[in-house]
């Protein structure tokens, strides 16, 4: 082989070696960025504890907050719409995440069945504001717009703060 060809092969070999070292780092960086973006998407909206009313009650007692319950059914189209719109509204999410411990209960399964019986769920979606002792403060049945839900939540928190005085 000629010297120029050897030099060219050496340079090519070195470039491939560097690429093999850098490529895993690039893949890791892209993977990390995609994971962070997905996590941010999941965090947008009201943060619900799924199907664990007891866990929500403990957390609400620890933090001195009321409990917001979304009683839904898996087949309910308005329930899904509520989750995609009203619960994702930035103002609603900020207010609820600051003032309530929120729990989503499938009212036709598991812990949701006794809840639906106790609070007489008549249709879906049904939204409940309860205290840590299980006392009903307010409820809403059916689809609700973000501004109306905010107004109801504000009324509930003001009523609760007056009752604590």
Q: Are residues 104 and 28 in the same domain?
A: no
Give buried/exposed letters for 80-118 (b at 16+ CB in 10 A, else e). Answer: eebbeebbebeebbebbeebbbbbbbbbbeebbeebbee
pLDDT of residue 30: 59
Task: Give the pTM.
Answer: 0.73
Q: Are residues 16 and 88 in the same domain?
A: no
Structural domain harbouring 19 = 1-41
Q: Are residues 16 and 74 in the same domain?
A: no
Residue 30's SS3 state is: helix
Q: Are residues 85 and 111 in the same domain?
A: yes
- The pLDDT averaged over each successive group of 10 residues in the chain (165 residues) is 63 70 62 54 81 93 96 97 96 97 96 95 96 96 96 91 60
Q: Are residues 153 and 93 in the same domain?
A: yes
pLDDT of residue 40: 46
Q: Are residues 52 and 28 in the same domain?
A: no
pLDDT of residue 134: 94
Q: Are residues 4 and 33 in the same domain?
A: yes
Nearest CA to 56 out of 158, 144, 165, 134 is that of: 134
Q: Are residues 125 and 147 in the same domain?
A: yes
If one counts the domains in the chain, the total is 2
- Bridge partners of 102? 48, 68
Q: Are residues 37 and 90 in the same domain?
A: no
Q: Are residues 102 and 141 in the same domain?
A: yes
CATH code assigned at 68: 3.40.30.10
Residue position matching structure tokens 């907050």: 65
Q: Are residues 79 and 14 in the same domain?
A: no
pLDDT of residue 56: 94
């Amino acid at each position: 082989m000629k010297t120029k060809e050897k030099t060219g092969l050496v340079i090519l070999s070195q470039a491939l070696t560097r690429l093999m070292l850098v490529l895993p780092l690039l893949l890791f960086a892209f993977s990390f960025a995609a994971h962070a973006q997905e996590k941010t998407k999941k965090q947008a909206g009201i943060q619900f504890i799924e199907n664990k009313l007891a866990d929500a009650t403990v957390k609400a007692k620890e933090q001195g907050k009321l409990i917001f319950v979304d009683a839904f059914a898996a087949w309910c189209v308005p329930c899904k719409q509520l989750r995609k719109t009203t619960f994702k509204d930035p103002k609603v999410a900020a207010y609820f995440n600051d003032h309530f411990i929120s729990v989503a209960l499938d009212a036709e399964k598991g812990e949701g069945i006794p809840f639906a019986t106790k609070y007489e769920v008549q249709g879906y979606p049904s939204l409940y504001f309860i205290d840590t002792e299980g006392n009903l403060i307010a409820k809403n049945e059916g689809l609700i717009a973000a501004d109306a839900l905010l107004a109801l939540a504000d009324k509930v928190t003001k009523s609760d703060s007056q009752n604590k005085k």
